[in-house]
Structure 1
């Protein structure tokens, strides 16, 4: 069941995608989760207690400030959270093993590459393009995602999780550099999808994912080398890379007009946060407790440029903090992020914050990123800690095999 959850949340198949980009496979799986909990005899964990507390708080805010639309949005959040909790329960009850997850992530990355190459080949030859959804046309291929920028979130997070699980597997002594050489075909497949996507986000996130898979000393060293070689990097003739580098250079100005003129697509993801920081009043009750989901659009729409009102989005940040306040946002971060802060997961958390905070919290990608982080923490921290813990004379119970 774990692999079904991961596959459904990591991919978007054209026949099941609605006009609003909603994945009906995700919806169907979410509604089926209560039945699957009973069928697989899954147990609720501490994660469920924290998640229930979060959802109750969100519901109370919606009842106080919101509308029926707010309540339906939080109900959908609850459905997505059920899938997350189902995956956690599978981990805790031993229904999935580390090697199975590693194999799944490897095959997922190869599958994205195969579909990307098929899309490129068919579009160049005039044949029907498989799984074509939201793209900009030639050299902008979505592969198994809804759009290229979504690919730029799924693949880097999957690649980083895969490399960490491979490098730190029990009994493994391979170095990070040696691992990248051993996995050279996977790295090539990964970079193929990234380059064919034409997404600035994907091109910028891919090297960060590979870098973060290294030990801390290598991250510092290679980051320093990248800074030194910045002039050489900036002359690489790759449009997506050039847009990203230009945007990074303009970003410190915090000038919305300059950001929009440099790269509208990237600016759309950054503008809501800039507007929030410019308008937030820390002494107001809305900062602490929020104003409901219906407060997001009025808070932002007068200051956002280049985006139609019906396409205005705020992502998880600042959308969540506008809707549910600092208290609700902090509760969310503790429930799904801060509880799993550990040296083994810190790079994965850092990448998640960069890639997924600008995403809507009611999207499959947001929750898939959280699933990968939870999987990594379980195998790297909880399972290894249990193996190191003395038995105190009690009989050890074997972990169940995957199903």
Structure 2
């Protein structure tokens, strides 16, 4: 039974993390993921306890607030969007059930994470070789067909670095649980040199400015800045600088330019600095400029796809007919502040460790441009839930061991 459940866990995580062009539509519909999520409700029929589990009740509260907002704006009500949300929610509920009931072991989870890290790395290298040799790029979906801007197994290049960041954090979490100690880059790099090399390669050479920001956060979280750690990272920094220098420092220039433009809060300057980055930042600026705290829409939302429909009007000069806004401000604009608060409670309950504010920052950076009904949003929640599951179990085991030791010492002295 446990082996079968482990296979289900692998299937859910792999289908949620990856995207294959041969099994998708031109609009980006992932047929493999839809097939997996379509099977889950059937499996849940035989596991009613998973649906009625109190520990997953918060996710139903999130859906309830979303449904309320949708019903209040019946003109914008879309049953297909509601059903798609339910598919993601039921898949998450079933995944939580599998992790808790199997229970998921560090060994199984570790092999899954390492497998995905290598799968993303190998696919990326194959894509870069194809681009360099002017051959058809394997699993290519969107981008400029640049040698250093590929999507690997992600649905698009901007998601690539985010998923790899999640996988690396999950890997480090496993190492911490196994060792019982906080992970230190200075020592960890020696033990996990190969994993760190493929991680750094993917983050530095995926061509995403956001990946560099996430890399900086990860290094800040795990690296104690010492002479030793600087010497370990120096070769990679020099290599990255050399390669990026040959590419006219495009990625670094984008990071610096858009950083300066954001400080001005001027939409036009942000677009001039980096149009791609502006799609993630400008909608939030528009939202705060237009929001009214006394409007019912502020609290209960303006209805499904309101943000998606209103943004082309605000950005008419860009001629974006199918503009997709990320989780923020789309979620709060569409479903309101109440639903957003419930969503944040859900995220903290399932994915954020109590003693790690950096985890929330990483989550926020990753889902900033990932709407609710996307693979990126839900793979983030699932992996962070798994990481928290192992941390909490490790804490419980450590607490029990301490109590057993105290009892043993007490008996020894009393005798």
TM bracket, shorter-chain basis = 0.7 to 0.9
8 Å contact from structure 2 (residues 70, 77) kept in 1: no
8 Å contact from structure 1 (residues 116, 196) kept in 2: no
How far 1:315 moved relative to its partner? 1.5
Q: Which runs of 5+ in 2 are unaligned?
A: 1-7, 231-236, 405-415
Q: Distance in 2 between matches of 1:173 and 1:328?
A: 35
Q: After superposition, where does 1:10-21 map in structure 2 within 5 Å?
A: 10-21=17-28
How far 1:167 moved relative to its partner? 2.6
Aligned to 1:213: 222
Distance 1:272 1:124, change over 3 A: same
SS at match of 2:314: coil
Distance 1:25 1:306, change over 3 A: farther
Q: After superposition, where does 1:266-281 map in structure 2 within 5 Å?
A: 266-281=277-292
Aligned to 2:33: 26
Aligned to 1:63: 71
What TM-score do the two structures reach when normalised by structure 1?
0.86
Aligned to 2:340: 329
Aligned to 1:160: 169
Q: Distance in 2 between matches of 1:30 and 1:67?
A: 28
| More displaced 10-residue stretch of structure 1: 298-307 or 127-136 | 298-307
How far 1:386 moved relative to its partner? 5.7
1:9 paired with 2:20, answer: no
8 Å contact from structure 1 (residues 42, 90) kept in 2: no
1:36 to 33, 36, 43: 43
What TM-score do the two structures reach when normalised by structure 2?
0.83
How far 1:305 moved relative to its partner? 5.8
Distance 1:149 1:326, change over 3 A: same
| More displaced 10-residue stretch of structure 1: 250-259 or 184-193 | 184-193
Q: Distance in 1 between matches of 2:40 and 2:342?
A: 24
How far 1:129 moved relative to its partner? 2.1
Aligned to 1:369: 380
8 Å contact from structure 2 (residues 350, 385) kept in 1: no
8 Å contact from structure 1 (residues 349, 373) kept in 2: no
Aligned to 2:407: none
Q: Distance in 1 between matches of 2:402 and 2:274?
A: 57
Q: Which has the higher helix share?
A: 2
| More displaced 10-residue stretch of structure 1: 289-298 or 82-91 | 289-298
8 Å contact from structure 2 (residues 352, 384) kept in 1: no
Distance 1:283 1:61, change over 3 A: same
SS at match of 1:311: coil
Q: Distance in 2 between matches of 1:281 and 1:131?
A: 44
How far 1:300 moved relative to its partner? 3.4
Distance 1:173 1:367, change over 3 A: closer
How far 1:195 moved relative to its partner? 3.5
How far 1:4 moved relative to its partner? 1.1
Q: Distance in 1 between matches of 2:48 and 2:292?
A: 48
Q: Distance in 1 between matches of 2:221 and 2:402?
A: 35
How far 1:291 moved relative to its partner? 1.6
Structure with the greater alpha carbon radius of gyration: 2
SS at match of 2:321: helix
RMSD of equivalent CA atoms: 3.1
Cα deviations by residue, 1:44-71 (Å, 9 ceiling, x for unpaired): 4334311122212221221220347533
Aligned to 2:412: none
Aligned to 1:181: 190
8 Å contact from structure 2 (residues 312, 321) kept in 1: no
Cα deviations by residue, 1:3-46 (Å, 9 ceiling, x for unpaired): 11111111111111211112111111111102233567873433
Cα deviations by residue, 1:376-403 (Å, 9 ceiling, x for unpaired): 111112453266258999xxxxxxxxxx
How far 1:268 moved relative to its partner? 0.5
Q: Distance in 1 between matches of 2:375 and 2:16?
A: 5
Q: Distance in 2 between matches of 1:151 and 1:306?
A: 29
Aligned to 1:98: 106
Q: How many residues align?
A: 384
Distance 1:109 1:344, change over 3 A: farther
Name which structure has the greater RCO, CA cutoff 8 Å, separation 6+.
Answer: 1
Q: Distance in 2 between matches of 1:339 and 1:9?
A: 17
Aligned to 1:108: 116
Aligned to 1:200: 209
1:46 paired with 2:54, answer: yes
Q: Distance in 1 between matches of 2:182 and 2:263?
A: 41
Distance 1:79 1:307, change over 3 A: farther
Aligned to 1:129: 137
How far 1:283 moved relative to its partner? 1.8
8 Å contact from structure 2 (residues 71, 77) kept in 1: no
8 Å contact from structure 1 (residues 271, 304) kept in 2: no
Distance 1:187 1:38, change over 3 A: same
How far 1:343 moved relative to its partner? 4.0
| More displaced 10-residue stretch of structure 1: 373-382 or 252-261 | 373-382
1:384 paired with 2:391, answer: no
Aligned to 1:84: 92
Aligned to 1:291: 302
Distance 1:306 1:354, change over 3 A: farther
